[in-house]
Amino acid sequence: MMDPGAYCREIESYLCRCNHGHLIRIVGPAFERVRGWAEAGVPLQVVTTGIDRRLARYRASGPRRRPLRIEFCEADVLDAFGEWRRAVGVAPAPGGAVDAADAADRAGRSGPRRPSLPRHVDRVLERVSNRLARDEMAADLRAALTRLAADLDALRPAARGARGAARRTLIDRLAEIDRVLLASVRGAAGPALDEVETDARAELASFRSRLDPDAYTRAVEASVDRLLRVRLRLPAVRFEE
């Protein structure tokens, strides 16, 4: 586990940058909340993701009258942590503050709505097409995203109205396309892949003792994939029901 004091200072520094240099100290109840995140193993990058989400909504609501405080970011941090845990296949410490807050948050939500497969395909294709049109990138990455765009465009007609076995086949196909994309990116990463794996192991350090060797290996691989997505701004092609 990262030292709670150092963890808190990193978050303070990030909030200071988000607040255009206005430093708000994390003390008292706010520090206890942040210390709970450190004890639960919430990676700093996950915390900053939650802060960014809250800040985006804050800015969209109109002119800011006061700096953003960490207390107002908790729900977004927990959401981001839940996404991270599902992506890498780990769970928070049972009975911990984060586990309790996460359970309460889930209990307060309404029943899940079935996501739209056609909308997912359209969203991913739009994101990839915009990236290809606007961004400079390495030739290997451009080739992988070009193939991805072609695969998704070919799937669009079948995704509309797909039911039962046909829908399942499409979902499996999206998962396979996602695996091929990540394999291509890994193959083109070269020595940078070692750096990403080091970061993945650092993210999982708090969970190492809770995972058996096979589970830990799978978690590291999943974390590497997640970090590659973040660094290269790759969409998640697989469809989560």
pLDDT score, position 75: 92
Alpha helices (runs of H) in 41-116, residue ranges in sequence order:
44-60, 74-88, 97-107
| Boundaries of every domain in the chain | 4-107, 117-232
Q: What is the pLDDT of residues 138-192, one digit of tens each?
A: 899 999 999 999 999 999 999 988 899 999 999 999 999 999 999 999 988 888 8
Could you tell me the pLDDT band of residue 109, with boundaries at 50, 70 and 90?
Answer: very low
pLDDT score, position 240: 82
Q: Could you tell me which residues come within 8 angstroms of residue 158 by beta carbon, excluding any fewer than 6 positions away? A: 166, 170
Element (DSSP H or E) covering residue 119 = helix 117-134
Averaged pLDDT for residues 201-224: 92
pLDDT score, position 136: 87
Q: Could you tell me which residues come within 8 angstroms of residue 184 by beta carbon, excluding any fewer than 6 positions away? A: 140, 143, 144, 147
pLDDT score, position 183: 92
Could you tell me the pLDDT band of residue 104, with boundaries at 50, 70 and 90?
Answer: very low
pLDDT score, position 110: 46
